Chain A
Amino acid sequence: MKLEIKDLHAGIEKKDIIKGVNLTVKEGEAHVIMGPNGSGKTTLAKAVFGYPGIKVSKGDILADGRSILPLKTDARAQLGLFLGFQHPVEIEGVGFVNFLRASREAVSQGQTSMKELMKDIKLLSSGLKMDDSIIGRALNKGLSGGEKKKAEILQMALQKPKIAILDEPDSGLDIDAVKIVASNINKVVEETRMGLLVITHYNRILSYMHPEHVHVMMDGRIVADGGNELIDRIEKEGYESFGR
């Protein structure tokens, strides 16, 4: 799959937030977006998934050359897109396993064997060093910040998307957990050759992932594209030197 974001302008209510973003992610590629708080990273990610509150005023988002803007959120996921949330939502009473089953059935368009699903979940949760008790819980309910982030990775690994956008998969994780999460992401990449777009504030996770494309986002625009040298520059100089 090739995901193209073309001259995208988008906002929430009357406020313009994304102000002309161009970005292309292909299967097999790893991209990173870094940028200051409030620069529009999460809004961009949600726009790709058709978040109802976000209005696209100009530009387009294409998957393999076709606009996905007319598609509902679920249809975009069914194309093979995955969004790892910065703030995963807690949903009362919806069993985690039940939810995973509904999701798997929706994406694969078929019946799911509970046995297989449980086997997959157990394997992944142990790989992520997650407590088994998550299986019996309601979706994200009562999970710690770090556990929620691991649960997002578990969902990604189950879904096997073509392109995954991960919005701060490392925030709130302890040092060991960052490593575990990164290696689990890498494992899915190796298995599926999926494309990655990781949003992050920290280079620790990047040191395990070696993305080849780095983008800097400020005030709703991509102000720099490059490689690892950008990460070093941000580390040394902060975002000010990218200012317009």
Chain B
Amino acid sequence: MIDQKRFVDDALREYSKLPGELEQLYTRRSVPLSIEIKQESLPDKKKEGVAVELHNELHAKTGVSFDATVWEGGWFTCGSPAMKLVKFGEDEYGELLSNSQHKSSEDKYVALIHATSRQALKIDVKDSTAAELKVLFACSDDPLPVQIHISVGDGSKLTLFEWHASQGHKDTFSGMLRDIRLGKNASCEINVLHNEGQNTTVLEHTKSRGDDRSSVKVNYVYAGSGTARARNLFEASGYESKVKVEEIIVGSKKQKFDLNTYVVNAAENSEASLGSAALAMQECACYLKGFAKITNGARGARSFVGEKGLLVDNTARINSIPSMSIGENAVKATHSSATGPIDHDSMFYLTSRGINAETAKQLMIFGFFSEPISSIKSGLAKEVASSIITAKIKAGGELIGIPELKAENTIWESATEPGIAHHYKYREEREANA
């Protein structure tokens, strides 16, 4: 059994030893990240109070009922047998640490989360069952480092919605190590919504592996936070397994996004794809590094990396750098990257039909996101994502704390693309339940 205290000490040592950012990416405009480990901390009662308040407000405004709300010192929950919070010191915590796909030595910020987290959210969907979970992550002015261990058993299905909603008044960070494992024929859709306030720095690490014929879909929406840094690795490690990752970024107000995602085909007939769609304005800076790797022996693998960027004004910057490494011949691999300003001719076409420039711009922005948004299966996640994007664009780039989920809020509501049906369906379900 792992010595938990020693594990933390080692992580602390790695944290102080490892360099911050070394990538060449940062030569032109850096994303300075220096996070101190602070000793003083708010009293627990106060932190929990902040989380309760945020939860209640969110529930009141959106009608979403969360299965659990995780805060810095614990959680409160309506309960689900598939989920539990494991605390530092417990045997199960040590077990999670020793099985973790993340290593402190691999990245300074993995070390930081290892050193500072005192709790792990354990989601365990037992063989041949299904779970649908909604979790709110709410921190006050103190950091919220948390480990999320997700295991989906053989033939099981998980739909997870993570809403990261911290609205701190002081600089703080929200860090997550997400460890995903899927059994044979297991499938999951994980929707991660980052809608933190500007004072929060997001540190995100996901590692995922799936057994034969498993399928994992992860949709990230980055609308909030001051700086978000992600290092993700998704491996289609089982025969005919599938990985599909979508990154949706809506950046404004000097927000910085530094997302580095690997999708790996490590087995025969596996499928791995990554799509990133970033919109940037108002001195926002985005670095999107999508990396596809096909390992030797992964015959019949299919791999796709597509990155696209929309620059709404000339103060923003998007660097998208897709790359590939292919170690097998009989495969199909494609990548694409395109970033540009709003197209003049499209603008002219729309305005020539009487549509004013602002509405035309919004139509094109929603159009830009329409594909990744309609690929979201969860009706709730789709609705929340589209509401937040709509609200943020309509508010001229202001960060939106809690969006109102109103049909009028989403331009997609009246579109007729196939993806939209889910949106309606969710709404109907919700009305039926009310």
Contact = CB atoms under 8 A, between A and B. Distances in A.
A207 interface: no
Interface of B: 343-357, 359-360, 363-364, 366-371, 411, 414-418
Contact of A92 (B354, B359, B368, B418): B368
Interface in A135-157: 135-136, 138, 155
A118 to B, nearest CB: 9
- Chain A binding surface SS class: helix
A65 to B, nearest CB: 22
Interface string A44-88: 001001011100000000000000000011101110000101001
Contacts of A91: 346, 349-350, 363-364, 367
Interface of A: 46, 49, 51-53, 72-74, 76-78, 83, 85, 88-89, 91-99, 101-103, 106-107, 114, 135-136, 138, 155, 159
A145 B187 CA distance: 42
B417 A95 contact: yes
A99 B363 contact: yes
A98 to B, nearest CB: 5
B418 A136 contact: yes
A95 B351 contact: no
Contact of B348 (A51, A103, A107, A136): A51
12 contacts: A52-B347, A72-B351, A73-B351, A76-B352, A77-B352, A93-B368, A96-B416, A99-B350, A99-B355, A102-B359, A107-B354, A155-B353
A138 to B, nearest CB: 7
Given A106-B354, A106-B359, A97 B415 contact: yes
Contacts of B369: 93
A133 to B, nearest CB: 11
A62 to B, nearest CB: 19
A95 B355 CA distance: 14
Given A74-B354, A74-B355, A106-B355, A97 B367 contact: no
B415 A98 contact: yes
B364 A94 contact: yes
Contacts of A83: 352
B367 A138 contact: yes
Nearest to A158: B353
Contacts of A102: 350, 353, 355, 359, 363
Given A94-B364, A95-B414, A95-B416, 5 more contacts: A74-B351, A93-B366, A94-B367, A98-B411, A136-B417
A80 B343 CA distance: 25
Most buried by A among B343, B351, B357: B351
